[in-house]
Chains A and B, each alone.
Chain A
Amino acid sequence: MTLATATQPTEARDKAGVSHSGSRRSGPDTAFHLLVAASALLVLVVLGGLVVLMGVGGSQAFRTFGLGFAFRDVWNPVADQYGAWAPLFGTIVSTLIGVIIALPLAFGTAFWLTAMAPPRIAAIVGTAVQLLAAVPSIIFGMWGFFTIVPFMARTVQPFLTHHFKHVPGIRFIIHGAPFGTGLMTAGLVLAVMIAPFMTAVMRDVFAAMPNMLRESAYGLGATRWDVMWKVVVPWSRSGMIGAIVLGMGRALGETMAVTFVIGNVTAVGWSLFAPRSTVASLIALQFPESPAGSLRLSSLLALGFILMLLSFASLALARMLRGDTK
């Protein structure tokens, strides 16, 4: 999380006229320039190819079902009818649940780490959190599958069904057989996965605030919470939103952690405890059994294209919000 970009040195360097001017470049210099520019171009081509191929591959599905493909609530390989709404719904709701749970965890932990924890403990916990942000997502999936799913099936769902079965408004959220899999479980696992990541980013953002501001506030008699809520948070608001959106972007495209615990049923419904599917999990599961050139394969690629757009939008949003602090 320390990969901050500095833009000034290059400009200063160029103004100072250090670089050889383009016209007087020697042979090897030109070759070197071309070589590094070519590798830059290749990176551009890879992303371009990714977007284009996904779009081209999915074009058959878009042609057959129209742009309404994104909102068709059907996924039936037997009848060869496909629509993106069920997996899209699953992706969006599980991501939202994940972010809603991860946000207080990340904010609280970052607050504790920056304002309260004794330096030595803060260093240990901070490092642990950063290390856990590096744990591969399949590990979170396995943990969810062997720990959270049985817990949900045996404890949470029976409890909820027993106590809230007849409460209108809650009833339809908890409706369903106690499989343990579903949007809520996926959201929980996603939350645990993105919380360390969001904590690390938020901690960096909080630490980037000039100490002068913090000290002045303390000098005026502010409590730690006053300083946090009225000085640090307003100062780093866009950075915090950036952290949230980055976490969201990770949750959107997460495949392995979700595939283990979502239950993989392509249906739409408000119950948070019934098996569902997400875009990424559907691709992971159904792609291997889709023959080349089939409408099913094309529909999966079209799903990939939509996911690409979602992830792109979240990154653009994060950049826009982070940009205005600089």
Chain B
Amino acid sequence: MSETTVSTNGWKPNPRAARRRSADHLATAFGMVMAGILVLVLASILWTLLSRGLAGLSAAAIMKPMGPPGSSSGLANAIVGSLIQTFLALLMATPLGLGCGIYLSEYGTSTNKFASCVRFVSDVLMSVPSILVGLFVYQVMVAPFGHFSALAGSVALAILAVPIIVRTTEDMLRLVPTSMREAGAALGATRWRVTLSLCLRSAKTGVLTGILLALARVSGETAPLLFTSLGNQNWSFSLNRPMASLPVTIYQYAGASYEDWVQLAWAGALLVTMGVLAINIAVRVSARRG
């Protein structure tokens, strides 16, 4: 902040300019400090995760199922359970999300009251606290049957995934130029063929991105699974019974007072985060290439 007051050819220092300049310096420093703090805090999170997670990560942690503290147990059933439930959730959410997105983009003109209502509701669903989705599915699918089930967990995850898929599908279909639709119609193609074979096909990458983002969002969710698939200490492949999942296991183990369980919780946290970040990076790379 050197205020040079040398006036050579009649130029005089302007106090207002000096004030503005120092305000600028101050703001610059503020911005840098804030960005620095944010980056440092986030680096601290990643560092904690890596150092603690790698310490707990071993072949046994991935290969062996959960067990009582002290025994050499792992996370295998939780990992498999998470994979099953997320996959099932996407299987349910993808057709529904695609259908709804297609409806909004192809039939939902601005005069269509129903479509704008659905659009708003989908936005609301995207921001609903995820624990409330868990409560809802509990009332619909757990309380009436009297037992927790992996299927209920998948439905809860699917409800969270649908609005993301709807939003990206609609946005991506809207980017398809009108001339493409006109060309299809001029060739005599019916509307459903134009939508599926032309529009959806040319928007394929974007729509796939949406599905992957939904996958990334859903695979780290804990709250909606607490009252639906509950968690399970043992191997279980039945959709009709409680099933373990990584996030719920992390939640149960992190607060435990057994050192080896806490270790496993960190290993699980590292696995979940790496999975989510890998999907996000893959999406980014493919978006840059596409």
Residues in chain A near residue B102, CB distance under 8 A: 36
The answer on a CB contact under 8 Å between B143 and A292 is yes
- Does B203 make an interface contact (CB < 8 A)? no
The answer on a CB contact under 8 Å between B27 and A301 is no
The answer on a CB contact under 8 Å between A127 and B284 is yes
- Does B255 make an interface contact (CB < 8 A)? yes
Q: Beyond A54-B136, A196-B42, is A35–B99 a contact (Cβ under 8 Å)?
A: yes
Question: Which residues, 83 to 142 on A, are CB-close (under 8 Å) to B?
Answer: 104-109, 111-113, 115-117, 125, 127-132, 134-142
Question: Which residues, 212 to 233 on A, are CB-close (under 8 Å) to B?
Answer: 223-226, 228-229
Main SS at interface, chain A:
helix
Among B3-11, B56-64, B159-167, B233-241, the stretch that binds chain A is B159-167
Residues in chain A near residue B272, CB distance under 8 A: 136, 138-139
- Does B226 make an interface contact (CB < 8 A)? yes
Residues in chain A near residue B227, CB distance under 8 A: 287-288
Question: Which residues, 181 to 196 on A, are CB-close (under 8 Å) to B?
Answer: 192, 195-196
Residues in chain A near residue B207, CB distance under 8 A: none
The answer on a CB contact under 8 Å between B222 and A225 is no
Main SS at interface, chain B:
helix
- Does A280 make an interface contact (CB < 8 A)? yes
- Does B129 make an interface contact (CB < 8 A)? yes
| Proximity bits, A45-80, B CB within 8 Å = 1, else 0 | 011011001100100000000000000000000000
Residue of B at shortest CB range from A32?
B192
Interface size of B as a range: 35 or more
- Does B32 make an interface contact (CB < 8 A)? yes
Residues in chain A near residue B181, CB distance under 8 A: 13, 18
Q: Beyond A40-B115, A47-B121, is A134–B280 a contact (Cβ under 8 Å)?
A: yes
Q: A39-B100, A105-B34, A140-B45 are in contact. List 20 more A-B contacts (CB 8 A).
A: A10-B109, A13-B178, A33-B107, A39-B99, A43-B122, A109-B34, A112-B32, A138-B220, A139-B49, A139-B273, A142-B250, A142-B254, A145-B254, A146-B52, A253-B127, A253-B128, A254-B129, A287-B226, A301-B135, A312-B124
